[in-house]
Amino acid sequence: MKSGNAHEFIDHATYEEVAVMYQGVKYFFYGLILNSEGRYSFDIDIWDADGNAVQTVFSETFNSKDDCMSAFENSKIFNGKTFWEAESDMEWVEW
């Protein structure tokens, strides 16, 4: 991962809002959210140049944060690749 460490990025993405650029597209991670029912949600959107969400590419809810983050890490969100398959071409950016 350019501009940072992929493992540190995952740590930050778990608990706060972060963004990456991948193949000219900005992906915005909202961080893990605990809802009123005690379930964990994790959402990722594609943002346009003005910072507007234009497409949700990942939105899942699970009973545990580990299950939620595992689902993210194993989903082919980035042009048919998982985070770990694509991370070497990603740049951690300010949003």
How do the domains of the chain map onto residue ranges? 6-87
Task: Indicate if the alpha-carbon torsion angle 27, 10, 75, 63 is positive or negative.
Answer: negative
Quick one: 15 exposed, middle or buried, by C-beta within 10 A (0-12, 13-18, 19+)? exposed
Q: Full-prediction pTM beyond 0.85? A: yes
In the prediction, which pLDDT does 95 show? 77
Alpha-carbon distance of 66 to 49, in angstroms, equals 32
Taking only the tens of pLDDT, the chain with its 95 residues reads: 999 999 999 999 999 999 999 999 999 999 999 999 999 999 999 999 998 999 999 999 999 999 999 999 999 999 999 999 999 999 999 87
In the prediction, which pLDDT does 43 show? 97
Alpha-carbon distance of 40 to 65, in angstroms, equals 6
